[in-house]
């Protein structure tokens, strides 16, 4: 089955060593798709990639992809487990995470301006609080009678 959808969530890479002493890596992710255009709610499937496929697919949350996967049930120690295996993968539209250096500089400047404005506002509030505690500028109290 091949479906177009998006990567909803990407989990960190997990690595371990098999009983034979071979190192392996696994990265799990959640794929969200619609089987038919009329479908009201999206289907979500947990999938994973192993070893070299992790770097090859370069998964990011929000990427639009076409994934072909099959499903199977397997038994281990008397319990049944569902297994979804990927047989084809195609990235349709990648999400750009990194902003251009010019945009980063502008964003940093905007944050600095906001921070300066926030500091000024906090100082003004502090002065107002001190005046109220001291009975106001003319010595009269601004406290309410109740």
Range of the domain at 104: 99-134
Same domain? 52 vs 123: no
Same domain? 11 vs 81: yes
Same domain? 13 vs 58: yes
Tell me how many domains the chain contains. Answer: 2
CATH number at residue 62: 2.40.50.140
Q: Find the distance separating the first CA and the last CA of the chain, reported in whole Å.
A: 72
Same domain? 122 vs 74: no
Query: Does residue 142 belong to any structural domain of this protein?
Result: no
pLDDT score recorded for residue 121: 73
Q: Kindly give the residue spans of alpha helices, DSSP state H, lying in 1-146.
A: 52-57, 101-133
Same domain? 76 vs 104: no
Q: Is 113 exposed, middle or buried (0-12, 13-18, 19+ CB in 10 A)?
A: exposed
Residue 107 has pLDDT above 70, yes or no: no
Same domain? 54 vs 80: yes
Q: How many CB atoms lie within 10 A of CB 31?
A: 22
pLDDT score recorded for residue 36: 81
Same domain? 74 vs 24: yes
Query: Does residue 7 belong to any structural domain of this protein?
Result: yes
Same domain? 64 vs 105: no
Query: Does residue 77 belong to any structural domain of this protein?
Result: yes
Return the percentage of the chain with pLDDT > 70, whole number.
73
Radius of gyration of the CA atoms of the chain, in A:
28
Q: What is the DSSP letter of 34?
A: -
pLDDT tens per residue, range 73-91? 989 899 998 888 888 899 8
As a residue count, the chain comes to 146
Residue 63 has pLDDT above 80, yes or no: yes
């Amino acid at each position: 089955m091949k479906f177009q959808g998006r990567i909803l969530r990407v989990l960190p890479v997990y690595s371990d060593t098999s009983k034979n002493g071979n190192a392996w890596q696994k990265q799990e992710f959640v794929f969200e798709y619609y089987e038919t255009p009329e479908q009201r709610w999206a289907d979500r499937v947990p999938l994973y990639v192993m070893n070299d496929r992790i770097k090859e697919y370069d998964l990011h949350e929000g990427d639009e992809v076409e994934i072909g996967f099959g499903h199977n049930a397997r038994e281990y120690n008397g319990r049944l487990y569902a297994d979804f295996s990927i047989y084809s993968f195609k990235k349709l539209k990648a999400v750009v995470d990194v902003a251009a250096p010019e945009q980063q500089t502008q964003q940093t400047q905007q944050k600095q301006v906001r921070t300066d404005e926030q500091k000024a506002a906090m100082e003004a509030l502090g002065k107002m609080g001190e005046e109220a505690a001291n009975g106001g500028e003319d010595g009269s109290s601004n406290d309410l009678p109740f």
